[in-house]
Structure 1
């Protein structure tokens, strides 16, 4: 029996993408004449497709003369496939005209796409949250109600977002974060990433000075680099941005900060530094972009009011539901100073008209009923338990050989390994992945002043307390077998 057209089409599309990718790598010299291509079995497993799909891609390469293949042997790149020999119809992906300066800067950035990853037994990827935590029944009911409310109109919406959601967010932000703002200052966006992109588009010209934390959220840095900003990285300690190191002599247009929970080190910026940061912003004419990416999660500290509450003229507040509901929803929001309302709204309209309407209405319904805040309180308790389990397990396994920072808030911690130099991070991560453990280095989040010792950003919101304990123990076994790290005979 033949396959349904849809399935055949998807398989054909995947095979063509694999064929084009391999052909491009051959043309660029990644695979030189005489080199073996990965086996169809290994490539299928790595890409998460069927072996038949990969074989179809290989067959196309063979038919065009790029590789030779015999039954039961590897596929070998031919002499025809030397770099620079692609021509005619095989040059379809070559650029006939130059890219924009923005596109050139963009292509130079180390941006990776989110892809389906090979399943790991224990994955400490930061930013992930447990699928089981999503309030499926509540969300389904809210979506059904939203659809019924809007059954007579499914047209384009106001670019700033649903009026119902913005009104509900106004009340929620006052109750939960102490923020007082008007409804029209709130602009709903497709996640905090779009909020940062809008800030760059509206406020940053090529060559403008932008202040970033060191270390910093990589995608914020990429946004500013793509915009052509002159980036100045200002160091952070365990209490956040070192405000005294801010440049005062030249104009800056923007400073991106995470004062409620510095990413990734986890510091909470003291009030004295907040006051100094605001004074600096006025002195150099800069706006402050305050990213409150996981402000709902506080454990051992009393929350300090957001910067926006202290100054509504220079601070742009960024919030999201990615850490409370799901990053898949792509729902976030900006609160902007009054003079910026119109320009941000117009920029949002040009970017994507408006964020998804039904999802906005569903979130408004959850906020109106109090269901969202009950869910947040539940998640705060669950993640406090996870946090305690991870810290206890790491302490038991490693003792004084590690320093754990950023534990008072958020959904991740940073672990510094005293006995391992930063140069060993890549080998350590590779060894852990071979053991089924996903760990992620902190060093790529630094722009200039790289750390001397190995550090990991360990997320805990996607694992159960038991998984966190077992994952930490297995990680310890991997690390204690790692040559640069001396075994602790008294651990546990």
Structure 2
């Protein structure tokens, strides 16, 4: 009996401290109802008497308020009285450092060494943010999406089971028809794999196609998250220089040992070049000779303003070496985490197996909803609307740059996409951090070009003008005008400071 009482006291103390910690970190917010003692006991596998004892102690200590016939609620000031969750759940002083006792794997160590900071995507309300990536929430097709989700739920099968790792066959079939119509891709639904955004596609490619020490050709400057995906698996990056037409494919001749090349041919990220047909063929001929794979990242091809559609690398591929990657993050929302890969037939089985090991499959409800949007034409209508909106925003940006900066600003990559690169020849690249800070003081967030150059690339230190990767998808034209006016003021301030 004594041991049972001791155990009950131990459980009570542990539950009491846990609830205090959850009050401190906001899980149990002020005024929120607490679970009933019966429900809490059933959920935790405890006796109701144990939970009742804890609630009585919490009430006596002022953490919760109780009333007959009503749910107990978190009292005002409970979080402050509970203290910080770190102090309640602190690591014992005699615990050994985790990095000594339990080392990471080689892949884990490489990822940790990348030094990727936790993202903080939300700018302050006072800032006009020319960030690339986010879309305006007002542009999301809420009515069409909600209707499709409801219809998808009505189609729910009586048997709830794991789906095909490649994704919903309805979505893959609808996507195959869409890609054939809009991108000229001749592929089967069997070749399509639905992924959680293009980043998962890159991770799968790196995991299945690259061994530690293998060479991978990448664009520089380029998409740094792609660089990181390959570096995490031990690849040695080799760099393709970029000009106004995209990747300079004549540099491939010396890359005879590269196992893979990653390119953004339709809208080079970040400089915006459009890879001409001659370079596309040269790239594929190199891949055929070198027995290398090519990843074609078609990340924002829906937004073409001044260029005609060009044949995709996959459409030109006679060697079965191209992996075509696309995403819905630039047309619908990055939060949906929906992308796709079109694989060569030889890679279908290994990638399907890897997808099963990774996450079984993407969430089925959103896949069914997207399939319905593709089938009834709602998605195509939405894309046409988005193209008009984004072109209007880009026009507002270009006109504002001309008005407020004139010849001081040179624009690259305006033929397509959701961003442009703004070069400022009067300032050196080394002044980018100063310009970012000066603009920030005026309530504008701008994003420097230099971080998109790989730090180990041989040409990273070559002299070049200040550059800004300037997104416009998040902003309305009147806000863009105000932001560029403030940016121009920051540029003039910095020019004067550097010439003193």
Per the normalisation by structure 1, the TM-score is 0.82
Report 1:192-203 matches (<5 A).
192-203=198-209
Report 1:275-424 matches (<5 A).
275-311=281-317, 313-424=320-431
Indicate how the Cα distance of structure 1 residues 110 and 442 shifts in structure 2: closer, same or farther if over 3 A, else same.
farther
Q: Which has the larger radius of gyration?
A: 2
- Say which is worse superposed, 333-342 or 149-158, in terms of deviation: 149-158
1:106 lines up with 2:118 in the alignment? no
1:189 maps to: 195
Among 212, 215, 225, the residue aligned to 2:221: 215
Secondary structure of the corresponding residue to residue 362 of structure 2: coil
Secondary structure of the corresponding residue to residue 482 of structure 1: helix
Q: Is the 8 A contact 2:427 2:495 kept in 1?
A: no
Secondary structure of the corresponding residue to residue 494 of structure 2: coil
1:67 maps to: none
1:28 maps to: none
Secondary structure of the corresponding residue to residue 231 of structure 1: strand
2:102 maps to: 97
Tell me the distance in 2 between the aligned counterparts of 1:7 and 1:478.
Answer: 50
Q: Give the drift of 1:440.
A: 0.7
Q: Give the drift of 1:10.
A: 5.5
Secondary structure of the corresponding residue to residue 255 of structure 1: strand
Among 228, 231, 238, the residue aligned to 2:234: 228
Tell me the distance in 2 between the aligned counterparts of 1:388 and 1:102.
Answer: 44
Among 476, 494, 498, the residue aligned to 1:464: 476
Q: Give the drift of 1:95.
A: 4.2
Q: Give the drift of 1:278.
A: 0.7
Q: Is the 8 A contact 2:20 2:82 kept in 1?
A: no
Indicate how the Cα distance of structure 1 residues 403 and 348 shifts in structure 2: closer, same or farther if over 3 A, else same.
same
Tell me the distance in 2 between the aligned counterparts of 1:173 and 1:462.
Answer: 26
Q: Give the drift of 1:247.
A: 4.1
1:12 maps to: 24
Indicate how the Cα distance of structure 1 residues 282 and 251 shifts in structure 2: closer, same or farther if over 3 A, else same.
same
Q: Is the 8 A contact 1:14 1:53 kept in 2?
A: no
Indicate how the Cα distance of structure 1 residues 157 and 135 shifts in structure 2: closer, same or farther if over 3 A, else same.
same
- Say which is worse superposed, 300-309 or 426-435, in terms of deviation: 426-435
Tell me the distance in 2 between the aligned counterparts of 1:287 and 1:239.
Answer: 22
Among 243, 248, 251, the residue aligned to 2:254: 248
Q: Is the 8 A contact 2:166 2:352 kept in 1?
A: yes
1:453 lines up with 2:460 in the alignment? no
Q: Is the 8 A contact 1:105 1:226 kept in 2?
A: yes
Q: Is the 8 A contact 2:305 2:416 kept in 1?
A: yes
Per the normalisation by structure 2, the TM-score is 0.80
Among 120, 128, 145, the residue aligned to 2:134: 128
Q: Is the 8 A contact 2:193 2:340 kept in 1?
A: yes
Indicate how the Cα distance of structure 1 residues 280 and 271 shifts in structure 2: closer, same or farther if over 3 A, else same.
same
Q: Give the drift of 1:58.
A: 9.8
2:275 maps to: 269
Tell me the distance in 2 between the aligned counterparts of 1:284 and 1:445.
Answer: 27
Q: Is the 8 A contact 1:479 1:485 kept in 2?
A: no
Q: Is the 8 A contact 2:24 2:82 kept in 1?
A: no
Indicate how the Cα distance of structure 1 residues 218 and 256 shifts in structure 2: closer, same or farther if over 3 A, else same.
same
Any gaps of 5 or more consecutive residues in structure 1? 16-49, 65-85, 488-492
1:143 maps to: 149
Q: Is the 8 A contact 1:146 1:362 kept in 2?
A: yes
Secondary structure of the corresponding residue to residue 280 of structure 2: helix
What is the RMSD computed on CA atoms of the aligned residues?
Answer: 2.7
Secondary structure of the corresponding residue to residue 239 of structure 2: strand
